[in-house]
Structure 1
Amino acid sequence: MIYKIRIILDTQEDIFRDIEIEHHVTLEDFHNTITQAFGFLGNEMASFYTCDELWNQDEEIPLFDTSDNGSNVRLMNEISMENILTEQTPKLIYVYDFLSMWTFFVELADVVEKEDGRTYPNVLFSFGELPEAPPEKKFESEPSFDFDESLENYDDMDFDENWN
């Protein structure tokens, strides 16, 4: 089976790639396909995130395990596309280069039969040029604590000041 997927850069302008890829390849293979389709070198850290229909981020699936204690995190090279991207769960979030935070919305558009003579992965359609710098992120909520205020009264704080 072949997955037809649209990958959209999180920006005001329309910048996306439509890709065909085999359903059995790993998320690491898909990561490499995305970096090539958008013109990245592919030498930065990246992660996929499962999400719901409203793009609310859930489980992280990183390229490498960067935890100190060897956690039970699932890695891109361990998960095939068919096990994470389905018609019931057709969306993922992809973040490339955690210093720049290039963020993409990934959505399964269709599942079709493999065509003889066609090589996969295949970029079906490319729209828009990648900007020189990633789009700025605007966070919806402001911090609830004013760090410029001095802490004069510890009684209202939710901790024991004599903890040691």
Structure 2
Amino acid sequence: MVFKFRALSGDVENFARDYEISEENTLFDLHQLIQSDLNFDSSQMASFFAVDHEWNKLREFTLFDLGEEADDMDDAPVPMDVMTLKELVKEKNQRLLYTFDIYSDRSLFLEVLEHKKVEVGVKYPIVTYSEGEPPLQIENVSEEDSSIYDDVMEDFDDFESYEDYNERSDDEF
């Protein structure tokens, strides 16, 4: 059997993708398909999240085993490569978040559109529908947005240089 996922972006209004992937594949396989389709840099961190129908995060599926333990092991993060889609997807319209920009918490919204039979001659996983440009993988920080580091360094520029401080200190003695 094959799952058909629809992916939408909260950042790009006209972006949509449909992915078909075998129920035997893992979340890691789906991650690789998305990365390849959107030309994302595979060295960046990403996670899937099981979510409820209101998009509230329930459980995280990570690229690597983070060795984290939770009070309830049912809540501990699970590596993507050990979770098959048939273990995870239990109903039509089930939802997942694919967080591709961990630091800015930017994600694709995935929903299962259908669970169908394998089509003869089709090599899965596959992109079956593509509309619009994908979101940027890493959000560009505009000049208006500044980091804490930039703010601190700007304040630091107001201090006298070490040489100026040192010369004045010597004169005072």
CA distance 1:131–1:88, change in 2 (3 Å):
closer
Task: Summarize the alignment of residues 1-150 of structure 1 with structure 2, pairs less than 5 Å apart.
Answer: 1-11=1-11, 13-67=13-67, 70-71=68-69, 73-87=77-91, 90-132=94-136, 134=139
Verify the 8 A CA contact 1:10 1:135 in the aligned structure 2.
no
Unaligned runs of 5+ residues in structure 1 are 137-164
Shift of 1:25: 0.5
Verify the 8 A CA contact 1:52 1:89 in the aligned structure 2.
no
Shift of 1:88: 5.8
CA distance 1:131–1:30, change in 2 (3 Å):
closer
User: Could you give the per-residue CA deviations for residues 92-114 of structure 1, whole angstroms, max 9, x where no partner exists?
Assistant: 11101323543110100001110
TM-score, with normalisation over the residues of structure 2?
Answer: 0.70
Looking at structure 2, the residues matched to 108 and 37 of structure 1 have their Cα atoms a distance apart, in angstroms, of: 18
Amino acid at match of 1:4: K
Unaligned runs of 5+ residues in structure 2 are 70-75, 142-173
Shift of 1:89: 6.7
> How many residue pairs end up in the alignment?
134
CA distance 1:2–1:131, change in 2 (3 Å):
closer
* Aligned-CA RMSD value: 2.1
Q: Secondary structure at the match of 1:106?
A: strand
CA distance 1:130–1:89, change in 2 (3 Å):
closer
Amino acid at match of 1:24: E
CA distance 1:40–1:10, change in 2 (3 Å):
same
CA distance 1:34–1:60, change in 2 (3 Å):
same
Amino acid at match of 2:80: M
> By percentage of residues, which structure has more helix?
2
User: Could you give the per-residue CA deviations for residues 120-162 of structure 1, whole angstroms, max 9, x where no partner exists?
Assistant: 11111111102445499xxxxxxxxxxxxxxxxxxxxxxxxxx
CA distance 1:100–1:39, change in 2 (3 Å):
farther
Looking at structure 1, the residues matched to 59 and 31 of structure 2 have their Cα atoms a distance apart, in angstroms, of: 16
User: Could you give the per-residue CA deviations for residues 62-116 of structure 1, whole angstroms, max 9, x where no partner exists?
Assistant: 111335xx53531101100111123167101110132354311010000111011
